[in-house]
Amino acid sequence: MTNGVRQRQDVPQGDRWDLEALYADDAAWEADYQAVQELPERIEAYRGRLAESAGLLAEALRAWFDANRRMEKVWVYAHLHSDEDLGNSRYQGMVERARTTYVKLSTAGSYLCPEILAIDDAAMAQWMAGQALAPYRVWLEDVLRGKPHTLSPPEERLMSMVSEPLAAIHKVFSVLKNVDLAARLPRVEDEEGAQQQLTHASFIKMLESPNRTVRKAVFDAYYAEYQGNRQTIAAALDGSVKADVFHARARKFPSALAAALFGDNVEVSVYDSLISAVHDALPAFYGYIGLRKRLLGYDELHLYDAYVSVVPEVEMRFTYDEAVDVICEALGPLGDDYVQAMRGGLLGGWVDRYENVGKRSGAYSSGCYDSMPYVLLNYTGTLDAAYTVAHEAGHSMHSHYSKRAQPYHLADYRILVAEVASTTNESLLTHHLLSTVTDKATRAYLIDRYLDSFRGTLFRQTMFAEYEKMLHERIEAGEPLVTDWLDATYYDLVKLYFGDQVAFDDEDAAIAYEWARIDHFFYNYYVYKYATGMSSAIAIASAILSDGEPALRRYLRFLEGG
């Protein structure tokens, strides 16, 4: 144990994900890793030949997708083991070796899109009407959409080659946050007067404490560590955003935002409309913040009060198995096939359940076409933690249905729609809890939590999206991301979104450093998808509950659509 958190070797097997289903051991992985080294050369063999015939193009695409499918399995095993303990040099080395090979494969295949786009339009139309390319028609249509932003084969090769060094920028932030900074987080005194180790996983949990003194101590201690590290984080963020801008300009997009949205076929106006619509709704949000202030009975509301329930005497806690049981009951409207598959995975080998020293913070769903879905959690037993299980199970079940229905090259769904599946699960869980709980205090707590989900998902994620746009626009204007600007801009944005119901005095000043802990600012315009996903998910869940089987069939077809 280190600071009350287990070492990885002390985690029971039943609490770990089953990576042996991918490879029996590291030696088996090593053998497959060596075998995939010949894949780049195999793909290079088709260079300059794609225009020869529809049959040859189909053969090249089949080889390309088969190579990526094999490489994906090698990568997933290494990256999942690496995230178990970011301080484990063995798995860090394996993931870097896998990354390097992946880049070699990507570089070898960098000619594919330019050569496809160079094929005569009339010839391509004739080929796509035939049988040889029928399995790849949807994929090819998407490639042809990108013709204005595809470079020459030599240029595409260079773009592929720079991906590995640019990826190191996010790695620097991740290791700093999850290993170095995490090791320096202090102990804080809890409600009982005992010293508790502050961790990334326990931060929000401790901000939910009914004891205001504890909340303030946690808030101050956590952000003090980021304050001391934000120069390094600012340098990493500056490099990350510059990489986004570089890619956008190299591919002739008018902005990094336009480039990021292109893959999902989303117009920039949609992003701007989201921010504008949320700005229009801020008066209603201010009213909610004011209601919280009155219910909590405070003369002054501070940002360390943002997570505590306005019904503090109600505490809902679940063991992991209890959380799975509740989630399965809640998702009953999605049908037996869905629930049985999900239960088997969540209680089987899908999930790495609890925090350990060096483990990546947060939660995600991962995996590859030839594996089960894998879910990383840092489960703490709170109601929010249970919702995280439901959320990530939504991603995983989307993968389950998509892989079952689609071939490899069409099974990887867009992130934009992925957040719909995860948030639909959350909506159904909320409906179930409100339908089954009769205690007035507990119902008040659940209603407060549901309203607070709008704060956390719709308003907060849109605030992040607006800040991310500001980051990219500053770099595009030729200005650097320096700490003074990052702090002041973020603080002003938080003030705009929370309004004058929050004191925003010295006790709230540390919120200026919150930008430094947000992983998603390194993900190139990701967070807006949470807000749009929530809006869609609420509509879908409502339709399933009110319309039954017809709405469920539509939803399952959506999950199978890839």
Find, among 392, 397, 382, the residue nearest to 344 by Cα.
397
Task: Pick the closest to residue 538 from 451, 470, 480 (CA basis).
Answer: 451
Nearest to 385 by CA among 358, 415, 417, 354: 354
What sign has the CA pseudo-torsion 411, 416, 417, 422? positive
In the numeric block, which tokens belong to residue 441? 């205090």
Structure-token pair, residue 34: 């060596």
d(CA 178, CA 172): 10
Compute the distance between CA of residue 51 and CA of residue 312 in angstroms, rounded to an integer.
Answer: 68
Does residue 392 carry a catalytic annotation? yes
Residue 364 has phi, psi (to 5 degrees) of -160, 165
Report the alpha-carbon distance of residue 216 to residue 506 in Å, rounded: 12
The DSSP letter of residue 359 is P
Phi then psi for residue 374, to 5 deg, are: -120, 140
* Neighbouring C-beta atoms of residue 143, cutoff 10 Å: 14
- Report the alpha-carbon distance of residue 476 to residue 96 in Å, rounded: 31
Residue 361's nearest CA partner among 480, 221, 201 is: 201
Q: Which amino acid is at 136?
A: Y
- For residues 37 and 101, the answer to whether their CB atoms sit within 8 Å is yes
440 sits in which H/E element: helix 440-453
Residue with tokens 């053998």: 31
Distance CA 381, CA 367 (A): 25
Q: Name the one residue in this structure whose structure tokens are 């005497």.
A: 313
Q: Which of 72, 115, 355, 392 is catalytic?
A: 392
- Determine the 3-state secondary structure of 188 from DSSP: strand
Distance between CA 293 and CA 285 in Å, rounded?
12
**What are the counts of helices (DSSP H) followed by strands (DSSP E) for the chain?**
24, 5
Catalytic residues: 392
